[in-house]
């Protein structure tokens, strides 16, 4: 279900001090946007209302985080829900297809949390674990390619396992029921809802 637009979407976005307005201007020098430029940078693609990325930044001050969300109404709600600015958190309001013009081998970890499954075959290349996106990510990663995915959609999860494997990724951890595992986890808003309803969450940690 799509969220309704907030009346002051543009004002919220334009006045947010930790949302980067012209991200392509910082390609190759993102570390300089953070107080501690030596920290690794983790990127969440499709951050939704921001609970995951905000709590990750709050609980991990030795890591710099960037949350990306393409929908104005969603990121505006995320900004409103964040109680304070954190020195290790920045936001981007753009589409993931633009990532190769924003980062140049600067990202250490990518999170894909509850991405749109795009179940129809003709939409396969829109899936964030499809080969076209994996090729984009190659230009983002600083050293090793590390992707962490969570999804309630078993079809997308099976597709991701196959796509990542064919592209040369190996799996450090895989779970078909994250809540029952001992894997450390910060939940997204969707995840809290799904888990309370008894829906099992699929998880993978892939490295290349």
**C-beta neighbour count of 82 within 10 angstroms:** 20
Q: Can you list the positions of beta strands (E) in the chain?
A: 41-45, 64-68, 89-92, 109-113, 146-151, 170-175, 202-207
CA distance 124 to 132: 10
The kind and range of the H/E element at 78 are helix 72-81
* Count of beta carbons in the 10 Å neighbourhood of residue 121: 6
25-to-33, 38, 102, 188, 192 alpha-carbon distances in Å: 11, 20, 8, 30, 36
Count other Cβ atoms within 10 Å, centred on residue 106. Answer: 20
**Residue 143 designated active-site:** no
- Which three-class secondary structure state does DSSP give residue 67? strand
Q: Which residue among the candidates 24, 95, 116, 177 is catalytic per the annotation?
A: 116
Catalytically active residues, by annotation: 116
């Amino acid at each position: 279900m799509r969220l309704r637009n907030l009346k002051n979407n543009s004002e919220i976005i334009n006045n947010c001090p930790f949302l980067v307005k012209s991200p392509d201007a910082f390609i190759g020098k993102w570390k300089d946007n953070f107080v501690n430029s030596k920290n690794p940078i983790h990127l969440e693609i499709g951050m939704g209302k921001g609970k995951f990325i905000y709590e990750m930044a709050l609980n991990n001050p030795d890591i710099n985080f960037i949350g990306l969300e393409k929908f104005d109404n969603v990121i505006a709600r995320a900004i409103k829900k964040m109680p304070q600015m954190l020195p290790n958190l920045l936001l981007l309001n753009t589409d993931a297809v633009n990532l190769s013009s924003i980062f140049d081998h600067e990202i250490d970890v990518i999170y894909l949390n509850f991405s749109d499954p795009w179940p129809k075959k003709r939409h396969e290349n829109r899936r964030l674990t499809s080969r076209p996106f994996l090729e984009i990510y190659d230009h983002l990663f600083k050293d090793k390619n590390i992707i962490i995915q969570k999804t309630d959609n078993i079809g997308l999860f099976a597709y991701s396992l196959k796509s990542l494997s064919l592209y040369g990724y190996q799996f450090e951890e895989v779970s078909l029921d994250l809540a029952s595992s001992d894997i450390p986890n910060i939940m997204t808003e969707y995840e809290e809802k799904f888990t309370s309803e008894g829906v099992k969450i699929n998880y993978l940690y892939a490295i290349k």
